[in-house]
Amino acid sequence: NSKHTSDMDSSKIQGNIKAEVPVHSCRIRVGRSIDGFGLSPGITKEQRLGVEKLMKNAVKNFPADLAGQYYPLTGMKENVRQQLVDDHFLFVSGDRNLTVAGMERDWPEGRGIFHNAEKTFLIWVNEEDQLRIISMQKGGDVRGVFARLAKGIKAVGDSVYKESSKDFCLDPKYGYIHSCPTNLGTGMRASVHVDLPGWTAYGVDKLQARCEELHLQPRGTRGESGGQTGHTYDISNKHRLGYSEVQLVQKMIDGVNTLWEEDKKHQQAKQI
């Protein structure tokens, strides 16, 4: 009888990505759904606006380091929109998978983006999921990013409960409920953008096979359906279900350190 175990205790993480590894940035996200509101393929217009209203109030209760502003997509001023695009924070309509699943009905009403003053903590409201909670920063301090995420998820959960007496949708077996089944369990993707010139020279197909062994997923740096640019890769945990959050972050840290050690050997072999 399998049971989902959640663990957001960042003190259990062993080590971190080594300082020498050429990591540009780190980002960890989870999805969350609030009890009593539909998932995005079937959510009603009223429910979607209800989620947004709840979050507009909830974000006012955040602690100082997470405090910031909510930017609704409806009626967004051009200068605000452009700034969010420049920061790579804005999500846009037109994703074929979301459209065909009915997730972009009534666009852009009820959607928006929250971020803190430092731009290291974000919440997407009513994109693919009711909530996407995101922690990110430059450099390779994965442990620090995870600690902020844990604090942020708790702040969102506490604030939502204070406003509505509602909790996140959590199934004892399948974990946190999301719109897409691939996110069941933790709903967490912990990723870094890292340079791997040695692996690039050795072969991208070989890198993909190695990532598979390490329970990692390599992507191009342009997102899920984007392409590959140069030798910078987005490397993340492959699994969402069957492991705790701490275990998945640990796999990513250890895996990226391993890939870099191997990358140096490939660089020597290929005389890069």
What mean pLDDT comes out for the span 175-193?
96
| pLDDT confidence band for 2 (50 / 70 / 90) | confident
Q: How high is the pLDDT of residue 224?
A: 54
Q: Which of 38, 40, 39, 31 is nearest to 103 (CA)?
A: 40
Q: How high is the pLDDT of residue 1?
A: 72
**What are the structure tokens assigned to 30, written together?**
């989870």
Rounded CA separation 28/233 (Å): 15
Q: How high is the pLDDT of residue 88?
A: 85
Could you report the per-residue pLDDT of 74-127, keeping only the tens digit for each? 999 999 999 998 888 988 888 899 999 999 999 999 999 999 999 999 999 999
Rounded CA separation 84/27 (Å): 17
| pLDDT confidence band for 52 (50 / 70 / 90) | very high
Rounded CA separation 118/65 (Å): 8
Percentage of the chain modeled with pLDDT above 90: 90
Q: Is 65 exposed, middle or buried (0-12, 13-18, 19+ CB in 10 A)?
A: middle
Residues 6 or more apart whose CB falls under 8 angstroms from that of 162 comprise 58, 61
Percentage of the chain modeled with pLDDT above 70: 97
pTM here? Answer: 0.94
Alpha helices in 168-244 (DSSP H): 197-202, 204-213
SS3 category, 34: strand
Could you report the per-residue pLDDT of 193-252, keeping only the tens digit for each? 999 999 999 999 999 999 999 999 999 876 555 555 689 999 999 999 999 999 999 999
Which are the catalytic amino acids?
29, 128, 132, 180, 182, 189, 219, 224
Q: How high is the pLDDT of residue 253?
A: 98
Rounded CA separation 35/81 (Å): 30
What mean pLDDT comes out for the span 161-182?
96
CB 130 within 8 A of CB 32: yes
> Phi-psi bin for 38: left (phi > 0), alpha (psi -120 to 50), beta?
beta
| pLDDT confidence band for 188 (50 / 70 / 90) | very high
Choose between 164 and 228: higher pLDDT: 164
What mean pLDDT comes out for the span 127-148?
97
CB 249 within 8 A of CB 13: yes
Angle formed by the axes of helices 45-58 and 142-164, to 10°? 110
List C-alpha distances in Å: 1 to 4, 43, 172, 177. Answer: 10, 31, 11, 19
SS3 category, 180: coil
Instruction: Print burial letters for 247-264: b (CB count within 10 Å at least 16), e (below 16).
Output: bbbbbbbbbbbebbebbe
Rounded CA separation 31/170 (Å): 11
Q: How high is the pLDDT of residue 227?
A: 54
For residue 72, pLDDT over 90 is answered with yes
